[in-house]
Structure 1
Amino acid sequence: MKKIISLLILWLSLGIQAQDKPVVSDWTAITQSLNVQDKQNWKFRVSAKIRKENDNNAKCAIWARIDKLDNTTGFFENQAYSGINVTSEWKTFTIEGTIDSNAKSLKIGAFAKDNGDFYFDDFKLEVNDGKSKKWTEIALRNSDFEEDLVSADWLEGIGRNKNHVKNFIITTSDNKPFSGKKSLLMKGQNIIGNMPHGKFAEVNGIKMYYETYGEGEPLLMLHGNGQSISAFMNQVDDFSKKYKVIIVDCRERGKSTYDKTKELTFDIQVEDLKQFLDQQNIKKVKILGWSDGGILAILMALQHPDLVDKIACSGANIFPEGIIDEDIKDSKETLAKLIKENKDGKNDVYIDLYNLDLKYPNLKYEDLKAIQCPSLIVAGDKDVIKTEHTVKIAESIPKGQLAILPNSTHYVVAEKPELFNSLVMDFFEGK
């Protein structure tokens, strides 16, 4: 992904795109919505008991969001990205905030990401008008999950679309509830990027996490800037029927580590990948890259041509100005805010990720003439990469092919997986 507002905003934006049908995802949520138009500027706090099992360091948390009368988002917090420590023992977690002045509704709920058994119990919502010290409890429907789940109480999704995620079972459970006879269980399963067979490879001063699927010719999948292995949840099944799919977490993302003393650049990531492929004894590889992963695919084809058989790149650019101007402007503003608010290094990784895309890569169109392998260059017609930039990239590669997919954004890999997978598969299988 090119625009990395933050993982919090990424979570929200992907939820907005969710459709009223089963989807494949590495996260899910449930929501209860409350009208707060008569409580604008009041303080609120929401709490719940949480524990988890069989999780392999997966995330779960409570979250809260204000939707305004003008349909924009106000207050928003998802504690999954706040460094909270959820264990196998019940613990109370709390979010506190202020209801926006033009608030319409307050959405609260539970969030779970990756494989594991995530338990929630005893949700509680309180408000304070700011004129007294007294907090007033607002009744929630089925807050203790003693009754069976129904959508009238808790809606699956983030409150904007009914959204069932195939990879999760959401139900009530009698397994060690905090109180009463039941609690909420959100069970994630078969989610790539968090699988028991995952391994680490020590390369270029870091530990690179990877997972493999299927047999046959090697196919390396490379995710985008703010993503991880799970970005390709919609691709693994299809491609592993034909290829040995290898998916890695690039440094500073997912489970891979990084060296804080070294700048995050595309060149250092290319060296990571080169050493990784050497360790795996891979002599020739096809590469599917999304966004920054597409940039890495292009650089691998340039710097290590003997290793690369074919590349397919979606939403890649070869210099920062290839991104739409508004997106660059937003990224610069967000970077400045992250730097200003960077206490105790909490924003270091985000700052690195923003700098990566604002400063790099620095290729020229004529550089692409050196790419000798067949190259499929893909983008959505509503991509954050300028269409003319994508077209010029494909035209500059001697064996370049171009595909601009209609009614698609930078997330076409996830938005239209059947179309995308078929297109890439045909390219890889073609002569």
Structure 2
Amino acid sequence: MKKIIILPLILFCSFVFSQNKTIVSNWTSFVQSVNVENMQNWKFRVSAKVRKENDSNAKCAIWARVDDIDNKTGFFENQAYSNIKVTTEWNTFEIKGTVNPEGKTLNIGAYATDNGDFYFDDFKLEVLDPKSVKWINIPLKNASFEENLISGKDWSEGIGRNKITHVKNFTITTSDYKPFNGNKSLLIKGQNIIGNMPHGKFADVNGIKMYYETYGEGEPLLMLHGNGQSINAFMNQVYVFSKKYKVIIVDCRERGKSTYDKTKELTFDIQVEDLKQFLDQQNIKKVKILGWSDGGILAILMALKYPDLIDKIACSGANIFPEGQKDDELKDMRETLAQLIKENKDGKNDVYIDLYNLDLKYPNLKYEDLKAIQCPSLIMAGDKDVIKTEHTVKIAESIPKGQLAIIPNSTHSVVVEKPELFNSLVIDFFEGK
């Protein structure tokens, strides 16, 4: 997907993982993989005990995914995106599913996001034997975490598929503090993750409560995330840029901790007004903007509507009309939207539907409109971006003070794929005359 990366399946399929690599992220997973080639089409159920402490509305859950023989994803469920309620008390959570006809590996995991202490114990896997019609227990290694954890031996950090990735914002250990059973449980601890920090605040703007955090001192720099993202999209940028600027990161309406008005359509125009009122409240007279994806679209629109307010903009993976996205991307988005609408029971998909409609319907600019942008503008994209390269080039050419950067061997997620190069390019642009 171009930007809508919070849907459960996309969460574990589009994030960039490399073998034995340390990354920065607001979530992590601890997984054990089980061969199920002799259990194809069998029903299964996975359960575990889960509780959490010291969190600020953070999520933790169990998840399960079946990988086919060709490594394609079959069954998938992450309970963090359901209505489960994890408390400080131990509770049992269960996932039920069926092994795909071509299923090879069942991945069973513990998932945690944002700051907090997340505890897991007594993982259990059972399969329904179609011949005996009886549930059979499949022993998991170190299922109750009584043994010391050796990454890659039984459990490993990551998403399975032989990819072991450490997220430096989390520690994963065993704990003897209030285990459910035995002497130990699994503890995943998240710390210092932006978007969920104690110094975060809310601003009342344009009929919503907009959540924001600030870092550093100096000239103000506003960072704007993409469609299905939130503040933590810039985990690889905030601390680097805060050495030079006063970095302000916000959750746009309907994302992160910010609220929204269900009676109003989610458009880019209404978000532009949100941002203008927010900057006015902060008494900011001139601001630089770094925008990723939809955040880049917002930066362009801010520069058009409020030229006196904007100093410079740097945009990665932005488009100025929906057809600027690749045809396959638009096709996938339309198909996903149709599925979300079809399966929208009790309004559970309302926000996702709003997000997909936003990018399928808007913005509706023309190249000649960009001639009105007065500020220096850095227009960036990965060479494998979901935004058409010719569209990115044309945007840069249409802005009088536009500069272009197509970053090699990178996708729409260049912000997290190549943070050092990305940050250097943007800082050089902001610091240039």
TM-score interval for Structure 1 and Structure 2 normalised by the shorter chain: over 0.9
Match in the other structure for 1:95 = 95
Q: Secondary structure at the match of 2:323?
A: helix
Once the two structures are overlaid, the 10-residue window that deviates more, 53-62 or 124-133, is: 124-133
Q: Which runs of 5+ in 1 are unaligned?
A: none
**What is the 5 A alignment of 1:18-29?**
18-29=18-29
C-alpha spacing 1:16/1:103, structure 2 compared with 1 (3 Å): farther
CA distance in 1, matches of 2:415, 2:13: 15
Q: Percent identity?
A: 80
8 Å contact kept, 2:26–2:232 = yes
SS in structure 2 of the partner of residue 404 of structure 1:
strand
Distance 1:15 1:320, change over 3 A: closer
The verdict on how the C-alpha distance between 1:18 and 1:267 changes in structure 2, with shifts beyond 3 A counting, is: farther
CA contact (8 A) 1:5 1:334 kept: no
Verify: 1:261 aligned to 2:272, yes or no.
no
Give, in angstroms, the shift of residue 8 of structure 1: 1.2
Distance 1:351 1:165, change over 3 A: same
- Answer yes or no: is 1:346 the counterpart of 2:345: no
2:123 equivalent to 1:114: no
- Give the deviation of 1:16 after TM superposition: 5.0
Aligned twin of 2:225? 223
Contact 1:297 1:313 in 2 (8 A): yes
* Contact in 1 for aligned 2:22/2:168 (Cα 8 Å): yes
Q: 2:390 aligns with which of 379, 388, 391?
A: 388
Q: Distance in 1 between matches of 2:341 and 2:168?
A: 38
Counterpart amino acid of 2:65?
R
**1:214 Cα deviation from its structure 2 partner:** 0.3
Query: Match for 2:375: what amino acid?
Result: C
- Which stretch of the first structure deviates more once superposed, 356-365 or 10-19? 10-19
Encode CA deviations 1:109-152: one digit per residue, 9 max, x unaligned.
10000000000000000000234442110000000001101121
Report the Cα offset of residue 3 of structure 1: 4.2
Task: Answer whether contact 1:298 1:311 (CA < 8 A) is retained.
Answer: yes
- Residue 60 of structure 1 aligns to which amino acid in structure 2? C
Distance 1:6 1:288 in 2: 21
Paired position in structure 2 for 1:177: 179
Quote the residue 1:59 is aligned against: 59
TM-score under structure 2 normalisation?
0.98
Partner of 2:104: 104
Paired residue type of 2:183: K
Give the superposition deviation at 1:5: 6.5
Partner of 2:243: 241
Contact 2:129–2:136, Cα closer than 8 Å, also in 1: no
CA distance in 2: counterparts of 1:387 and 1:339, whole angstroms: 31
Partner of 1:146: 146
| C-alpha distance in structure 1 between counterparts of 2:239 and 2:9, whole Å | 28
> What is the aligned partner in structure 2 of residue 13 from structure 1?
13
TM-score with structure 1 setting the length: 0.99
Instruction: State the one-letter code of the partner of 1:135.
Output: W
Give the CA RMSD over aligned residues.
Answer: 1.0
Rounded Cα–Cα distance in structure 2 between residues aligned with 1:206 and 1:57: 19
Cα distance in 2, alignment partners of residues 19 and 258 from structure 1 = 39
Aligned to 2:135: 135
Contact 2:3/2:294 (CA < 8 Å) preserved in 1? no
SS in 2 for 1:242: coil
Q: Is the 8 A contact 2:5 2:11 kept in 1?
A: no
Deviations 1:50-71 (A, max 9, x none): 0000110001000000000122
| Count of residues in correspondence between the two structures | 431
CA spacing shift, 1:384–1:15, aligned 2, 3 Å: closer
Tell me if structure 2 keeps the 8 A contact 1:3–1:331: no
For the 8 Å contact 1:229–1:248, the answer to whether it is kept is yes
Specify the alignment match of 1:155 in structure 2: 156
One-letter code aligned to 1:316: A
Which residue does the alignment assign to 2:201? 199
Gaps of 5+ in 2: none
**1-side partners of 2:400 and 2:3: how far apart?**
29
CA distance in 1, matches of 2:304, 2:66: 47
Mapped to 2, the partners of 1:17 and 1:364 lie a distance apart of: 37
**Distance across 2 between alignment mates of 1:396 and 1:62:** 48
